[in-house]
Amino acid sequence: MSLTDQTRAEMREIIARYPKPRSALLPMLHLAQSVEGYVSADGIAMCAEELGLTKAEVGAVATFYTMYRRRPAGEYHVGVCTNTLCAILGGDAILDGLKEHLGIGHNETTEDGTISLEHVECNAACDYAPVVMVNWEFYDNQTPSSARDLVDACRAGSPPPPTRGPSSLCTFKQASRVLAGFNDGRANEGVQAGPPTLAGLELAKARGDKAPDYPSKEQ
């Protein structure tokens, strides 16, 4: 799908949210990605036109942040955490297994366009390591076998619901549209924080721990 006048109108809607137009660039790039499945040269040009920036300025942002794809992502974009905790608990084995199973490497997409694969430095979910994300939704406590089952289910068009978060998995384009700031109405679905995430909070409550009192600015 190509960028349209509707895309441009929605970019202007995003710009209107901010006191300074340039602040709208990140969600605008997500919007462009939600249409084409990646940030194309046309997407960069449209963002530049609407913000009065050069294509080089917009391109510098699009190439800095790894959530913006510079080639078409799969319908289901799989990110395997390979940072320290996930790696030693099996993240490296999961990534190697998926590469072999799918026949693709880092930042590559299967021929049928359903799966793209990325090694991620951190999915910010160490309490559920090793973690795989699909379209930025969590699949916790993974193994090489369960990760293969996960991508096979996605390729078959029946992805399982995320471990936490919404009750079903959206596509990569749909996720990009949410990141652009267009609500899909599913923010309060499912479990948001499980027991491992809340363990520290529960311990603090049991011990009666409280944050220190800091003087107000008025004082």
Express each pLDDT in 162-196 by its tens digit. 999 899 999 999 999 999 999 998 888 888 788 88
Phi, psi of 117 (to 5 degrees): -130, 140
pLDDT one-digit tens code per residue, 55-103: 999 999 999 999 999 999 999 999 999 999 999 999 999 999 999 999 9
Per CATH, the architecture of 5-64 is what?
Orthogonal Bundle (1.10)
- How far CA 42 is from CA of 1, 15, 35, in Å, comes to 12, 18, 11
Euclidean distance between CA atoms 42 and 98, whole angstroms:
32
Lowest-confidence region among 56-60, 103-107, 121-125 = 121-125
pLDDT at 218: 64
Phi, psi of 119 (to 5 degrees): -90, 135
Confidence check: pLDDT of 216 > 80:
no
Average pLDDT over residues 114-118: 97
pLDDT one-digit tens code per residue, 22-46: 999 999 999 999 999 999 999 999 9
pTM score, whole prediction: 0.88
Dihedral of the alpha carbons of 189, 192, 195, 198, in degrees to the nearest 10: -150
CA 191 to chain centre: 18
What is the CATH number assigned to the segment(s) 76-170?
Answer: 3.40.30.10
Judge contact between 104 and 78, C-beta under 8 A: no
**Angle (CA) 65 113 76, round 5°:** 55
Euclidean distance between CA atoms 186 and 193, whole angstroms:
15
Locate the domains of the chain by residue range.
5-64, 76-170
Judge contact between 36 and 1, C-beta under 8 A: yes
